[in-house]
Amino acid sequence: MNKVEGIILDWAGTAVDFGCFAPVNVFVDIFKNAGLDVTMEEARAPMGMLKIDHIRAMLTMPRISSLWEEQYGRAFNEEDVEKLYAEFEPSLMMSLADYTDPIPGVIETVEALRNRGLKIGSTTGYTDTMMEVVTANALKKGYGPDFHVTPDTTHSIGRPYPYMIYRNMEKLKLAASWKVVKVGDTTSDMQEGVNAGVWTVGVIVGSSEMGLSLDEYTSLPERDKQDLISKTADIFLKNGADFTIKTMEELPELIDHINLLIADGKRPRTS
């Protein structure tokens, strides 16, 4: 059967938590507590990675690295990373349940895809402990994929490595990478899809990359919305996306298009 068999969705910013705000605010807070003022843009840049890797990535940014040396008179080390993460996890856990609302259109889209016989997997930058909160609360609100994998399952090797996608493929019995579509909202999602050799799709509205709340987005003038959509799409494409969609509601139509490409012998550009 030469067509798409499964979809692998990211969680925050793709399926739940419009704008992916749960972790961002905590990253800003823990750095502030350490005496460093980081921007929302800096806090978002590594989004999608395993959270301790995210902290490490922030500390290696030239501006933040320089601020750290000014504050402490030395370069950061692994002990500093672990101390920041030890503060991050409990802070995130306190508020995580509040950021589990499905993004508009997701529940209906997933139902439509399931009705076509497609399997729904998922990957995340959250740990197993975090996902216990996210999956339970999202399910109460109507969203639940068939399977989810965290970096805890892949020996803490998260995005941009492809192993979480491979674990989904194994569990859901998906036959080949070119029969799988990965959908995410960060550059690390795109890189994960590229490295797995699957069709890779960036979803724009509600994404961490766009970085706006639902109220902020809906209040924008139409021209500003279109400019932001174009800018976000360009970032995804430059990071390896085969396609971008404005919202998840466009995914079923895109799957039809991908099926036509597969029938024509086409494969993801990474394969």
Residues forming the annotated binding site for Mg(2+)? 10, 12, 185
pLDDT tens sequence across 213-248: 999 999 999 999 999 999 999 999 999 999 999 999
Active site residue 51: yes
CATH superfamily of 6-20+101-263: HAD superfamily/HAD-like (3.40.50.1000)
In contact, 207 and 189? CB cutoff 8 Å = no
Edge to edge, the sheet with strand 199-203 lists 119-122, 6-9, 180-184, 199-203, 243-245
Of the candidates 82, 99, 91, which has an alpha carbon nearest to the alpha carbon of residue 29?
91
User: Catalytic: which of 17, 51, 53, 189?
Assistant: 51
Annotated domain spans of the chain: 6-20+101-263, 22-98
- In this prediction the pTM is 0.94
Q: What is the pLDDT along the chain (271 residues), one digit of tens a residue?
A: 799 999 999 999 999 999 999 999 999 999 999 999 999 999 999 999 999 999 999 999 999 999 999 999 999 999 999 999 999 999 999 999 999 999 999 999 999 999 999 999 999 999 999 999 999 999 999 999 999 999 999 999 999 999 999 999 999 999 999 999 999 999 999 999 999 999 999 999 999 999 999 999 999 999 999 999 999 999 999 999 999 999 999 999 999 999 999 999 999 985 4
Active site residue 29: no
Fold annotation for 22-98: DNA polymerase; domain 1 (1.10.150)
Residue 195 to residue 193: CA distance in whole angstroms: 5
pLDDT tens sequence across 145-158: 999 999 999 999 99
